[in-house]
Amino acid sequence: MHILVTGGAGFIGANLCRALLKRGDEVTVIDNLYTGKRENIEDLPLRFIEGDICDRALMQQKFSPDLVHFDGVMNLACPASPPAYQAQPIETLLTGSVGTANTLEVARAHKARYLITSTSEIYGEPTVHPQTEEYRGNVNTVGPRSMYDEAKRFSEAMTTAYAETYGISTAIVRIFNTYGPFMQPDDGRVITNFPNQALYGTPLTIYGDGSQTRSFCYVDDLVGGLLAMFDSAERGPINLGNPQEITIRELTDFVQTVTGRPCQICFKPLPGDDPTRRCPDIAKANKLLQWQPHTPLKDGLTATWEWFQR
């Protein structure tokens, strides 16, 4: 199959491209390199276009069915780290809205299967634990995360509208916290900051008191879920994540064990609207896709640490 991967030079995109190529698919990537890096994929035999999915003229020109045929469109293009999307709030909202529509237009023109990577952030500050797909969320529409949360909520609605209006085959996945090789060391997320801080011998920065929880999924497991969803006929939305919930304070222990470096810890203010708890219910992915993550946090962190050191 020939797959268009938007955001293919980013963290998850670079891992996904490798998996697609490994199984024999042909890959075209479009990425504006805002958070992606060309070097993440420059060793791969794929076609790369530097450009923005919000640029409809570019998309129509480069991806005209007269020039190329796609069997699938996997839309990963969007900054996903809070500091990155907060630095470009308007662009993030346009990526989720205009950009999503443009990528859906490509899927429509090619009669291709379409997958959109939504997020656990659409649950906002959840009041249901663990979060099931039926839970409708608790998002602050004008808060410091609203540009990302609402962009992704809109992209789910737009994807649904295209499926209903044009009958294209669509898939919505909601990705929970993911980590692994090809994360950008400066992206500001907790599993980039902590290994980075351990590497340079600076204190691990806990925001708030560290009692907030997350559930971290190793990227290889996540990519397996993306492919399983893409290969199925399921429409979703389906949660993809690791249901092992830990506090950020506990994460500092894991990082120190894995790196073998005792670290100092310092506390910084908790950013606004930082979710208190987050943990996926993955029963649906398990039942419909026979998918579940396998990598224990310690093993995944070890691989990530090795990558950071390199």
Residue 39's contacts (CB-CB under 8 Å, 6 or more residues apart) are none
- Give the one residue of 151, 206, 229, 240 binding ligand UDP; rule: CB under 6 A: 206
- What count of other Cβ atoms lies within 10 Å of the Cβ of residue 153? 21
In angstroms, the CA 275 to CA 187 distance is 19
In angstroms, the CA 301 to CA 6 distance is 27
Measure Cα distances from 238 to 61, 171, 268 in Å.
33, 8, 34
Contact string (CB under 6 A) for ligand UDP, positions 151-180, x = contact: --------------------------x---
Least Cα distance to 303 among 145, 228, 191 occurs for: 191
Q: Of 107-146, which residues contact ligand UDP (CB under 6 A)?
A: none
Output 170 or 192, the one with its CB closest to ligand UDP: 192
Output 38 or 268, the one with its CB closest to ligand UDP: 268
Residue span binding ligand UDP (CB under 6 A) among the ranges 17-25, 71-79, 96-104, 268-276 = 268-276
- Give the one residue of 274, 283, 292, 307 binding ligand UDP; rule: CB under 6 A: 274
Q: Which amino acid is at 182?
A: F
Total residues found in the chain within this entry: 310
Least Cα distance to 106 among 188, 160, 162 occurs for: 162
Read off φ and ψ for residue 179, nearest 5 degrees: -145, 160
Residue 212 interacts with ligand UDP (CB under 6 A): yes or no: yes
Contact string (CB under 6 A) for ligand UDP, positions 19-58, x = contact: ----------------------------------------
Q: Which residue has the tokens 């020039």?
A: 67
CA angle 197, 203, 209 (to 5 degrees): 115
Number of residues that bind ligand UDP (CB under 6 A): 14
Residue span binding ligand UDP (CB under 6 A) among the ranges 31-39, 48-56, 185-193, 228-236 = 185-193
Tell me the two tokens of residue 75: 């839309």
Contact string (CB under 6 A) for ligand UDP, positions 59-88, x = contact: -----------------------x------
Residues marked active site are found at: 148
- Give the one residue of 207, 243, 247, 307 binding ligand UDP; rule: CB under 6 A: 207
Tell me the two tokens of residue 307: 């990558």
The least distance separating ligand UDP from the CB of residue 212, rounded to whole angstroms, comes to 4
- State the residues that interact with ligand UDP by CB under 6 A: 82, 177, 189-190, 193, 205-207, 212, 214, 248, 270-271, 274
